[in-house]
Every structure is written in structure tokens, then in C-alpha cells.
A and B are shown apart, each in its own frame.
Chain A
């Protein structure tokens, strides 16, 4: 378990995160980094899909509250995250596996750092796996 490296997916809004960075260089540093236009684009089904396809955690980086280019996409994303966290709880999935950070970082230097922090936290939770036992059928 000590060697276990969590699989993380990071969505970040291009309006607030890393727009001054060298995206190619940054994407080599961060596995499964998906820059998007507005965090409000991230539907709960995208997060659930990521889990289904093997992610142990999903990090969403949006613009600071009140500063969304499209009025309130970041706030919409935040509401989804809180509702989804509640749903995940019923499945025994820890809410820490979905995180949203509303802030700004044009050079994107904090992105690898935030991914690392979340990854360290998820390491303690262990892999999400698909532990529903497939009995019979």
C-alpha cells in the first residue's frame, strides 16, 4: 500500500489557471490534467465517469467566487460538488475524493502542488477500486 500512487484527474478553468504557463510543459508534470473553458462545464456525470474509469479522486480548479467569465459557472460547479459529495457518501465513497478550489493562478505553478496535496490525502484513503463484490451472475 505504501507504494500506491493515486490516480487523479484535474480539471482547471483556463480563465483563472495557467493561462500564462507553457501548457505543454505543465501537462508533462501533471498526469490527467484537463484544462477547460469554465469549471461550470464540469457536469457531475464527468466526475462519476472519471471514477468509473479508475480515478481515485477528481480536483476541479475554478475562478474565484464572483469572478467567473460566464457570470457564475464556478459557483454552479461548487454546488454540484457539494451535492455530489452527499451522493458519494451513500456509496461509502469519501467526500475528499472530489475537491473544488476557487482561486486564481495565471502561471499555474500551484496546479502541480494542489494535485500533489490532494494525492497525498487520497493516499491515506487508499484506492477507490470497485469493491462491490461480484457474486454470482
Chain B
């Protein structure tokens, strides 16, 4: 029984199972998020109405009016599933993540930010100090003659005003709370979202810690796979805006960096289909912890250079290699930034 095929009879049956008044409670919540992950839930379209009929949504800040104290008043474990998207970078996000963890039986890290830190995780290449200096002092559009920086607490007319504390780095959700399942993507595609919700409602979940997406790398399902030559050999590396990429040929065969060999498939090849190479929002393929390092090995093997000097020359031409490799996964990388002062 898949979500899309649910008719009135199935829904009625499900209601019976959950005794009508006792529908499973589900939380959908964002932390450091752009809203795209919530949008993909909305993209379930009519299926969303069926879902909404089968479950009781207890919080969904982007779409419905609930307050956090409603959650605080619930019993521990009262929520069946919390679908949490976004990364953790401040004390408010941490607090909400921990609150939902306490109240939920299952937590699903939803989207690249929750699973790996996501694009905002690229900020981990910089210190908090660098970021504050740029945003509140050095950026050309900033006028801040008194050098005022945001503070977690400030006294105004005898009243204390507070702001969440901005942390030193971006965290993936599982670096802050225990996570049961992962659904990556930027955002996760609606078919995998529907499968995940079905799996929870029908109690057909895989073992804890699983990623609810295929295990294979993107290259395996890429429509351009057939155009890949038997032995890939690229002499120089181009960026996607520097050339007009052929819309049917393997990007790597054209010398354009594409993370397909190291990244999990399941995205529906959304980027490939609009002639953009894979940037890695589905994170490392099953069994790999650090997809950036893995792709280094993959890229090395297809670099067609003679001798060390030529290798160095090609490597020198690549702009921001680390930024490309860790575009969505820097916070979970096995490498950590080293401060210059040690």
C-alpha cells in the first residue's frame, strides 16, 4: 500500500488502527534552514492531504500556528516522528532539536543540512570571528561606526533582551542529538519523502541509522552513464560556467567536475537533467564517511597527466577544490579546520 494509492478505505482502516482520536503525532520542524525542505513536503501535493488525515501534526512552524510550549507540555515520547530539517548553529536551534528528541520516538534528519550540515556548513572553513567581522564590520555595505556586534544578552532600560548564542561552527543534527533515520537531498525529492512517511506509518523501517535512499552512487543511475568512455582521462578541469556542456555526455568525460562517483543516488538526477553536474547534496555513498576525500581518489585516477610537474599544473588550475568537494558535507568531514595560531 503506497501513499499515492491510498483511497478512502485504506485511510479509514488506518484511522481504525489508530482509534481515530489516537492518530500518530508527527512534528515537522526547521532549524537553520532555507525553507526548501518544508516546500518539498508541500510538494507531496494531494498526497499531503492523505498524510494529514492519517497523522496529527503537532508542530510545523512554516505552515501552521503552533507554539513551542505546546511541545514542552507533551509527555516524553508522545510524538511518533519528528521530521527535522536544517543545521544547528545557535543555541535556539540546539534547544529545539533537544526538545523534539525528548518528546519523540523517532527522529528523521531531513535534507542535506540536517544530515550533513549542508551548504551553510561551508562556513566551517571560517571562524565565527571572521564571519562576524565581515558581516558587522568589513562588508562594503555595512555602516557600523560604533562597532556594535550582536550579543546574547543586553540591558536596555533595565530590561534584559536576549538573542540565541551563535556557535563557533555549524553542526549536523546527529552531532547534537541522536538521529534514527536520514533522508538527504537539497531538498529530498517527494517520492522519497512519501516512502519515508509510509515506512514509519506502516512500521516497515530499516535498522536504526539507515539512510532512506538507494545505496548506489549517482553514476549508477545517471542517464549519461552510457556516454562514459571505457577509461576516463581528463587533461584539464573546467568549471561549468566556462564551457557549454553537452547535455547528453558524461560531465567528467567533458572535464567538468561532477561528484557522481562518490555521491549517493536517489535525487532523480535533478541537476544532471538540467545540465548541471552533481554537487553532492545526497552525501556520501553507503559505506563512505568522507565523500570529499573519496572523490579526491576518484578524480586522481582520471587525471591524465604526464609526470609530477604536469599533475601540479592541473591541480593548480582547480579553483576552491575543497569548497566543491564539501559543498554539502563539510561539518561531517573527517578533516577539521586548523587555526593558524594552532
Query: What is A's interface to B at a CB cutoff of 8 Å?
Result: 43-45, 47-49, 51-52, 65, 76, 78-80, 82-93, 126-137
Contact = CB atoms under 8 A, between A and B. Distances in A.
Given A79-B303, A133-B168, A90 B320 contact: yes
Interface stretch (B21-29, B46-54, B135-143, B169-177): B169-177
B88 A44 contact: no
A92 B91 contact: no
B311 A79 contact: yes
Given A43-B297, A80-B300, A132-B336, A48 B315 contact: no
Given A43-B294, A78-B311, A131-B339, A90 B125 contact: yes
A78 B310 CA distance: 12
A135 B301 contact: no
Nearest to B127: A133
Contact of B293 (A45, A82, A89): A45
Interface of B: 88, 90-91, 94, 124-125, 127-128, 165, 167-169, 171, 175-176, 288-290, 292-294, 296-297, 299-301, 303, 305, 307-308, 311-312, 315, 318, 320-323, 325, 333-340, 342
B101 to A, nearest CB: 13
A32 B292 CA distance: 25
B322 A82 contact: no
B293 A86 contact: no
Nearest to A84: B296
Given A45-B288, A65-B307, A132-B336, A83 B168 contact: no
Contact of A51 (B308, B312, B334): B334
B125 to A, nearest CB: 6
Q: Sorted from nearest, which 5 A-B pairs have the closest CB atoms?
A: A135-B168, A90-B322, A44-B296, A79-B300, A136-B167
Nearest to B98: A137
A101 to B, nearest CB: 12
Contacts of B293: 43-45, 47-48, 84, 87
Contacts of A47: 293
Contacts of B91: 136
A78 B305 CA distance: 11
Given A44-B296, A49-B334, A51-B335, A82 B168 contact: no
A126 to B, nearest CB: 5
Nearest to A127: B342
A87 B168 contact: no
A137 B288 contact: no
Q: Which of A47, A79, A93, A130 has the most CB of B within 10 A?
A: A79
Contact of A131 (B165, B307, B333, B338): B338
B338 A92 contact: yes
A126 B334 CA distance: 20
A83 B307 CA distance: 14
B311 A92 contact: no
B322 to A, nearest CB: 3
A91 B300 contact: no
29 contacts: A44-B300, A45-B293, A45-B294, A45-B334, A48-B334, A49-B334, A79-B300, A79-B303, A82-B311, A82-B312, A83-B300, A87-B321, A87-B322, A89-B322, A92-B337, A93-B335, A93-B338, A126-B342, A129-B342, A130-B336, A131-B336, A131-B337, A132-B336, A132-B337, A133-B339, A135-B128, A136-B165, A137-B88, A137-B176
